Amino acid sequence: MNILELMAAPFAECMVLVGIHTYLGIHVLRRRVIFVDLALAQIAALGTMVGFLFGIMPETSAALIVSMMFTFFGAAVFALSRGRIGHRGQASKEGKDGKSARGMPERIPQEAVIGLVYAITAATAVLVVEKTQGAEHLKDILVGSILWVKWSDVGMAAGAYAVIGALHFVFRRQFLLISEDPEEAARQGLTIRAWDFFFYVTFGFVITFSTRVAGVLLVFVFLVAPAIMAFLVTSRLLHQLLIGWGMGTVVTLLGLMLSYVFDLPSGPSVVAFYGIALTLGALLFYVIRAPSTRRAVAWVGTGAVGTAAAAGLFYLGATLLAGTSLALDREHLRVASETTRANAERTQKAATSVRPTTTLTVGNLKLKACQRYLALPDAETRLALIEEILGRCQRGGLKLIVVFLADPSTPEFFRSEAIELLRKSTGKDFGLSAEATPDGAANTAALEKLQRHVEQLPPGAKEVKGSPCEC
Amino acid sequence: MQRYVISVLTVLLLTGAAWAKKTRVVVTSSAYDSIARYVGGDTVEVTHIVKGQQDPHIVRPKPSLAVMLSKADLFVATGMDLEMWAPALVDMSNNPNIRSGQKGYVSASAGVPIIEKPITISRAEGDVHIFGNPHIHTSPLNGKFIAENICTGLKKIDPAHAALFDKNLARFKDEVDRRTFGPELVKMLGGKVLTRLAQRGKLIPFLEKKTYKGKKLIDRLGGWMKKALPLRGRKVVAYHKNWSYFSELFGLDIVDYMEPKPGIPPTPGHVAAVIAKMRELNIKVMLAANYFDVGRVNKVAERVNARAVIVALAPGGEKAIPTFLDQFDVWIDRLVAAFKKAGEA
């Protein structure tokens, strides 16, 4: 399994995502509705959850349809919540009282509505999850699973985004105008709300599609980061697009490679790497654009040194703090394990305090077994002990066989094994039967016979020198 | 005469009171729920906190849970570090009787032979359980220990019904034994011996070696152990480390986990290594609990050309698994079917 085989499909998917999101990101930046992506993604997720409530499994096309329906509803909300005619300057000049006509009063920025929608849908998703018991799904929505994307997914995404891209190409004039200059658009006779709704529907469609695969975080970065980079350089759309795509490709490729080399989760790696790339890019432009390059470099250098110093201090402080908290942790673990040990000892004590009866009565026989035999947990281990003792001392072993056979809890198979041992040792079976219960008349008589035989044996017969005859 | 009447009345009153009041048992896992019902019979009212398709590691605190616990007579938890949320919940319930160590608290794992105790304890290893693997309910044999612990707890709370609990416990143990090993072997060797051999992984060699009445003991094996014989030594990849007791008992060889460390999402390097291993060892089956994203697991399986067996990890998690004892039938049947299909393909 090499890097190409594993990462090719995720990379292709990322490329498809960069393609459409960079373009949409430019719109979103122009409209100043950055968080609309997060809100729509969350609405789509809520749709999946609600679908789950009705028994629609996530990641099926039915779930996708439910998500889409929710997203389109969200699109309507955002289209309606745009300030009367959108833009700050001119709009506030006209609608100074803020209550004019329809739409949101101009004093309330649309970001507030978007933020609210996000918070409310996220909370609702948690409530819905409570009913469906799928907390794992919620976590997945954030991070996504770009690593698992299949070629068929990539193909489907490419097809869907191509349709959206074509729509945007056909209506590029209108879309750009309502994003850039709604005043002018209104003057030209465009119905702002309708076009807004149309825009958000296409946008929501893309977001719903991409979040399912890449997760909220990655989609957001794909949307905003290349667009910001492009804005830093130029304000011409075509150039912005080219710069965004170029940056997106390079950064994604490096991010995925880092994820592979350092073995980190892929989505979050790409996101974090975008952060680094943006910071470096911004610094570079600061230096290039500054009136005095030398001063700018000096400033960046000071900043870098300052950041490094702060990081060093933080490192020291954190290590110190970790030391103390680790000590506390260890103490906690020690107490916890001691409690467990104490509990275990208590249980053990309780178990051993109920000793099994040491004497057995069968017919006229009163039998006693040694502690070592009784301490063994079951018939199999007891029989092994009997065999061991029998090997060095016939009398001791046979004594235990009597106990073993007289014990009503000894299972049938082990009785037969014991009788087999008896036969091997003495040459006869005294009429004992494995199937008959020990307290049955026939077996009792046989056991008594065996016991008499054992008692007649000389103590220590066949005894191996040095080791005791009893157990 | 008067004394006689009084004593009869007292007995009637007492039994009446016992009839009216059932022991309220709250358990964490739905597996403990069905065991508690079995042992407690009609004298108990059991509710569980973690549903069969939920992750037992995470429970979001809800007011109703505290209310439920505040009325509980008996609280059954695993007693290891699986339910980290439980102590806080017990605190919230303001019910001192069910605190750890009190009469109304049962640690289900007491006496269970715990496996996978960590050698080093470090947060860097992911969600490590410091006392060993706490997913004890994945082996039917552990169920007997759990039932025993619950029985002990019930007897403390409701001594009047001690005889009933003991009887039910014996019945439960017998049913577990018979369904695990088959009635014939249980009759011949006894559940105790079979359980000990199985838990030490020595049962199958033992049965293969020994003969009784002219027939090899292994040919007399029945129950889940027999059903799972085709799984013995077969290699699978699991998603999370929660099948250890099951795989150990039935000899399933879990070669690796999709999660690089318990509770941490898969990373490319680890996944590449797992896929390489799956190809090398020709592993065609994956096993996952249904509390993970089913679509995700299927996707993984598809990418590595394997068949995903996705089952509820605990009773109630799907329709086919209403009680503790049913889960083993479903798990084994699906795995055997998956291996059969993978073999044909």
The interface residues of chain B toward chain A in range 71-100, judged by CB-CB distance below 8 A, are 81
* Rounded distance between C-alpha atoms, residue A220 and residue A275, angstroms: 12
Look at residue A467 and tell me if it is in a domain: no
Burial (0-12, 13-18, 19+ Cβ within 10 Å), A297: middle
**In-domain check, residue A464:** no
Q: What's the whole-number mean pLDDT along residues B151-161?
A: 93
Residue A441, min C-alpha distance to chain B (Å): 21
Residues of A in contact with B275 (CB under 8 A): 1, 6
A62: its two tokens: 């039915």
Give, in order, the Cα–Cα distances in Å from A127 to each of A121, B217, B294.
Answer: 10, 55, 21
- Mention every residue, 6+ apart, whose C-beta is less than 8 A from residue A376: A382, A385
Which residues are B25's β-sheet partners?
B46, B74
Write out the residue range of the structural domain in which residue A323 sits.
295-354
pLDDT of residue B125: 53
Domains and CATH numbers, chain B: 2-173 (3.40.50.1980), 183-221 (no CATH), 226-344 (3.40.50.1980)
Q: Which of residues 263-322 of B touch A (CB under 8 A)?
A: 265-273, 275-276, 279, 291-296, 298-300, 302-303
Same domain, residue pair A163 and A34: yes
pLDDT value, residue B143: 95
Report the pLDDT value the prediction gives residue A405, as an integer from 0 to 100: 85
Counted across chains A and B, CB pairs separated by less than 8 A come out at 126
Residue where one domain finishes, among candidates A289, A307, A329: A289
- The answer to whether B131 contacts A1, with C-beta atoms less than 8 Å apart, is no
List strand residue ranges (DSSP E) for B3-142, in order.
Answer: 23-29, 44-50, 74-77, 105-107
B119 to chain A, minimum CA–CA distance in Å?
14
Instruction: Return the structure tokens found at B169.
Output: 């416990």
Angle between the N-to-C axes of helices B324-344 and B30-40, in degrees from 0 to 180, rounded to the nearest 10: 130
Residue A46 lies in a domain: yes
Contacts of A262 in chain B (CB under 8 A): 269
Angle (nearest 5°) at CA B248 between B247 and B251: 75
Same-domain status, A414 and A339: no
| Assigned domain for A463 exists | no
Examine the domain organization and report whether A429 and A315 are in the same domain.
Answer: no
**Residue A471 counted as domain residue:** no
Query: Are residues A251 and A325 part of one domain?
Result: no
The answer to whether residue B111 neighbours chain A at the CB level (below 8 Å) is: yes
Per DSSP bridges, beta strands B74-77 and B235-238 are: unpaired
Residues of B in contact with A215 (CB under 8 A): none
pLDDT, tens digit (0-9, with 9 covering 90-100), for B225-284: 999 999 999 999 988 778 889 999 999 999 988 877 666 667 778 888 888 888 888 888
Residue A135 with chain B: CB contacts under 8 Å = 54-55, 58, 60
The Cα of A261 is separated from the nearest Cα of chain B by a number of Å equal to 7
Question: How many structural domains compose chain A?
Answer: 3
Determine the distance in angstroms separating the CA of A332 from the nearest CA of chain B, rounded to an integer.
12
Mark yes or no for CB contact A333/B130 under 8 Å: yes
What pLDDT does A101 receive?
44
Report the pLDDT value the prediction gives residue A45, as an integer from 0 to 100: 85
Q: Please report the DSSP string for B240-288 in residue order.
A: SS--HHHHHHHT-EEEEESSSSTTS---HHHHHHHHHHHHHTT--EEEE
**Average pLDDT of every residue of chain B:** 85
Q: Does A387 share its domain with A257?
A: no
Task: Give the pLDDT score at B144.
Answer: 95
Cβ neighbours of residue B230 closer than 8 Å, sequence gap 6 or more? B336, B339, B340
CB contact B170 to A (< 8 Å): no
Q: Looking at the predicted structure, is the pLDDT value of residue B309 above 80?
A: yes
Helix (H, G, I), strand (E, B) or coil at A202: helix
Q: Which amino acid is at B237?
A: V
CB contact under 8 A, B293 and A147: no
A42 and A87 assigned to the same domain: yes
Q: What are phi and psi of B324, to 5 degrees?
A: -50, -45
- Chosen domain end from A289, A310, A341: A289
pLDDT class of B29 with cuts at 50, 70, 90: very high
Shared-domain flag, residues A265 and A232:
yes
Is A106 domain-assigned? yes
Taking the C-alpha atoms of residue A127 and residue A146, their distance in angstroms, rounded to an integer, is: 27
Chain B residue numbers with beta carbons less than 8 Å from the beta carbon of A134 are 53, 291
Residues shown for chain A = 471
- Cβ within 8 Å, pair B268-A266: yes
Final residue of a structural domain among A354, A389, A405 = A354
Q: Do B212 and A413 touch (CB under 8 A)?
A: yes
Tokens of A71: 């997203």
Do the Cβ atoms of A378 and B54 come within 8 Å?
Answer: no
According to the model, what pLDDT value does residue A399 have? 84
Q: Closest by alpha carbon to B188, among B223, B213, B224? A: B213
Of B196, B267, B291, the CB nearest to A264: B267
Give A258 to chain B, closest Cα distance, Å.
10
Answer for the pair A206, A194: CB distance below 8 angstroms, yes or no. Answer: no
Spatial CB neighbours of A185, under 8 Å, sequence gap ≥ 6: A174, A177, A178, A192, A195
CA torsion sign for B226, B228, B230, B232 is: negative
Furthest CA-CA distance within chain B: 86
Cβ of A343 and B110 within 8 Å?
Answer: yes
Query: Could you tell me if A28 and A137 lie in one domain?
Result: yes
Which of A130, A143, A378 lies nearest to residue B196, judging by beta carbons? A378
Q: Is B47 on the interface with A (CB under 8 A)?
A: no
Residue A240 lies in a domain: yes
Q: Are A136 and B55 in contact (CB under 8 A)?
A: yes
- Are residue A349 and residue A432 in the same domain, yes or no? no
pLDDT along chain A (471 residues), means of 10: 75 92 91 88 87 77 88 90 53 41 62 90 84 62 76 89 93 86 82 88 90 85 90 87 92 89 83 91 86 88 94 92 76 67 64 57 73 83 88 82 84 88 84 71 78 77 55 61
Set of chain A residues whose Cβ sits within 8 Å of the Cβ of B316: none
Collapsing DSSP states into helix, strand and coil, what is residue A299? helix
Give the whole-angstrom CA distance, residue B309 versus residue A392. Answer: 54
Q: Are residues A253 and A389 in the same domain?
A: no
In chain B, the percentage of residues whose pLDDT exceeds 90 is 41
Is residue A151 within 8 Å of residue A9, measured between CB atoms? yes
Q: Provide the token pair at A337.
A: 């394990």
Do A156 and A119 lie in one domain? The reply is yes
Whether residue B122 is predicted with pLDDT greater than 80 in this model: the reply is no
| Same-domain pairing of A237 and A305 | no
Q: Which domain CATH number covers A232?
A: 1.10.3470.10
Chain A contact set for B187 (CB, 8 A): 411-412
Instruction: Judge: B188–A340 Cβ closer than 8 Å, yes or no.
Output: no
